[in-house]
Amino acid sequence: MTQKTFAFVVYPGLTILDLVGPLQVLSAFAEAEPSVRVAVVGAEPATVGTDTPLRIAPSHTFAEIPDPSWVVVPGGGAPTLRALGDPALVGYLRRAAASAELMTSVCTGSLLLGQAGLLDGREATTHWTFLEALRAFGAKPVRERWVDTGEVITAAGVSAGIDLALHLVERLAGPDVARLVQFGVEYDPQPPLGALDWSLAPGEWMRPRTERLVREGLAGQPELQEKLLALL
């Protein structure tokens, strides 16, 4: 039996929930669907840091999974912006997109898809503080939990990766299977403070932090740094 592969991309400094949220959902799907396997891929087999004290190691290198069926790209802060200048990572995304059925991202992972040339002319989303930055890559920013444009799907910030993953299961196997997976991981969000009221989003408070991340992450790419700062 030929297996299709979900490739989760890792790189230093990524936001861990961007990765493990959808990884847990899609691993549960793969457990029930033997034609699907899950791999965590990186440029090298070495352990990398995340935006928490937790360190992780890929299960495979880019070279070992050259043609994944589906790709999930997590985001992060300054390290993700720094990764926009990583030719191994961006090159892998470009090559994978040539044959992959779906290229997807969580949070600012969408900027990496944009850097790989995959968002030009498409609607897309990302973490709300970086939403307008998508214009730098030719995308049309949309404030949604996820945006499905057919071959490319982008999700909003961090926890939205779980929603993205359940949407992927529903798209690939139907709502009944997606509901089973949802029960399996007991995804029933009931945040203690209730749903977010976006009219109260602390944009002015967050902007200095966002600008600092752009300056730090893109210190070596002044043209892109200037372009993103003008959009934020």
Each residue's pLDDT tens digit, 178-222? 999 999 999 999 999 999 999 999 999 999 999 999 999 999 999
Mean pLDDT of 1-28: 96
> Is the Cβ–Cβ distance between 66 and 7 less than 8 Å?
no
Share of residues in the chain with pLDDT > 70 (%): 100
At 2, the pLDDT band (50, 70, 90 cuts) reads: confident
| pLDDT attached to residue 166 | 98
Does residue 178 sit within a domain? yes
207 occurs within a structural domain: no
Residue 62: is its pLDDT beyond 80? yes
Q: What angle do CA 53, 17, 208 make, to 5 degrees?
A: 80
Catalytic residue list contains 107: yes
In a domain, 151, yes or no: yes
| Residues 38, 65: Cα–Cα separation, whole Å | 11
- Domain extent, residue 92, equals 4-189
pLDDT of residue 217: 98
With H, G, I as helix, E, B as strand and everything else as coil, classify residue 106: strand
Please report whether residue 197 resides in a domain: no
Token pair of 81, please?
A: 């912006």
Q: Is the pLDDT of residue 1 over 80?
A: no
pLDDT at 33 over 90: yes
Q: What is the CATH number of the domain that holds 63?
A: 3.40.50.880
Mean pLDDT of 1-29: 96
Mean pLDDT of all residues in 57-84: 98
For residue 101, is it within any domain? Answer: yes
Which residue out of 16, 26, 103, 107 is catalytically annotated?
107
Residue 59 belongs to a domain: yes
Q: Residues 56-77: what's their mean pLDDT? A: 98
Dihedral of CA atoms 177, 28, 2, 94 in degrees, nearest 10, equals 100
- Answer yes or no: is 195 within a domain: no
Sheet containing strand 152-155, edge to edge, reads 60-61, 36-42, 4-9, 70-73, 102-106, 152-155, 146-148
Mean pLDDT over 47-59 rounds to 98
Q: What is the pLDDT of residue 83?
A: 98
In a domain, 204, yes or no: no
Cβ proximity of 127 and 156 under 8 Å: yes
What was the pLDDT predicted at 101?
97
Half-sphere exposure of 65 (CA within 13 A, CB side): 30
Domain total of the chain: 1
